[in-house]
Structure 1
Amino acid sequence: MVQPISTQVRMMAAAPRQGRVASVIVWSAAGLGAVAVLGAAALWFHYGTTVFFEMIAAGISACF
C-alpha cells in the first residue's frame, strides 16, 4: 500500500499557531474584563453607591 509522506508533520506544525491565536483571544478578553471592572470601581468611588446603582438600574431598564 502507498502511505502519505509527511502528513503528520504538517498537522503538528499547524497546532502551535492555533494555540497562539487562542491565547491572544483569551488574554484580550481578560484585559477587556479587567478594564470593565476597573471602570466600574472608578464610577463607584466617584459617584458613590446610590448614584452608581441608579445608573446601573437605568441602563438595565433602558435595555428592556
Structure 2
Amino acid sequence: MVQPISTQQGMMAAARPQDRVASMIVCSAAGVGTLAVLGAAALWFHYGAAVFFETIAAGISACF
C-alpha cells in the first residue's frame, strides 16, 4: 500500500501566522473589555449609582 509523503499531523503542528495574529487580537480585545468593566465597577463603588448613571447620561448626551 502506498503511504503519503507527508502526514496531516506534521502539517498541523506549526501554527499559521494568521492564526497567531487573530488570537492575539481576540486576547487583546478581551483584556480591554475586562479593564473597561473593572473600571466601570470601580467608579460605581467609588461614586455611587446615582453619580455613575448621571455621568454616563452626560457622556452620551455630549456625543449627540
Q: TM-score when scaled to structure 2?
A: 0.76
Q: Does 1:18 align with 2:18?
A: yes
Q: Which segments of 5 or more consecutive residues in structure 2 lack a partner in the other structure?
A: 1-11
Q: CA RMSD in A?
A: 1.4
Counterpart code for 1:50? A
- What is the TM-score with the length of structure 1 in the denominator? 0.76
Count of aligned pairs between the two proteins = 51
Structure 1: stretches of 5+ with no match in the other structure: 1-11
Identity of aligned residues (%): 78
Q: What does the per-residue CA deviation read over 1:27-52, in whole Å, with 9 as the maximum and x for residues that have no partner?
A: 00000000000000000000000000
Q: In the alignment, is residue 47 of structure 1 matched against residue 47 of structure 2?
A: yes
Q: How does 1:26-37 map to 2 (within 5 A)?
A: 26-37=26-37
| Counterpart AA for 1:33 | G
In structure 1, the partner of 2:56 is 56
Between Structure 1 and Structure 2, the one with more helix by share is 1
Q: Could you list the runs of 4 or more consecutive aligned residues of structure 1 that deviate by over 4 angstroms after TM superposition?
A: none
